[in-house]
Amino acid sequence: MIIMIKVLVLCTGNSCRSIMAEMLINDLGQGTYKAVSAGSQPAGYVHPKSIETLERHGIAVTQSSSQSWDAYAGEKFDYIITVCDEAAKESCPVFLGEGKKLHWSTPDPAKVVGTEAQIEDAFDEAFGMLHARVTQLVAGTR
């Protein structure tokens, strides 16, 4: 019997970083992890560059939406991961539910203004940071 490790990934807007982390955990967790993501103030859409970046790197993209963390109030999670950026002085949402709390400071690629190449680089940088952290997380349970 496989024990599923439940993960909630939080950000403020739930449109970029938390979506990418959710998809990475579900893909790299190979059926051992079940991740969902949410935001304290959801944007109401998934940034198209998040999906493009995941697909470009060969990560399975399942249906996702930008949703409120209210959808998960009262649920138990093994891990609650925040992905806001400490360096940019973003305020991270504080989820009071049960679960081991982790913080993965990740710059917000959606805030980058520049050329198409600069924006793509910002998404790739965030993806790389999250991929490394997810790889470390799932390796710890195998």
Which residues are the active-site residues? 11, 84, 92
Query: What is the C-alpha separation between 129 and 62, in angstroms, rounded?
Result: 21
Query: What strands, in cross-sheet order, belong to the sheet with 79-82?
Result: 33-39, 5-11, 79-82, 100-103
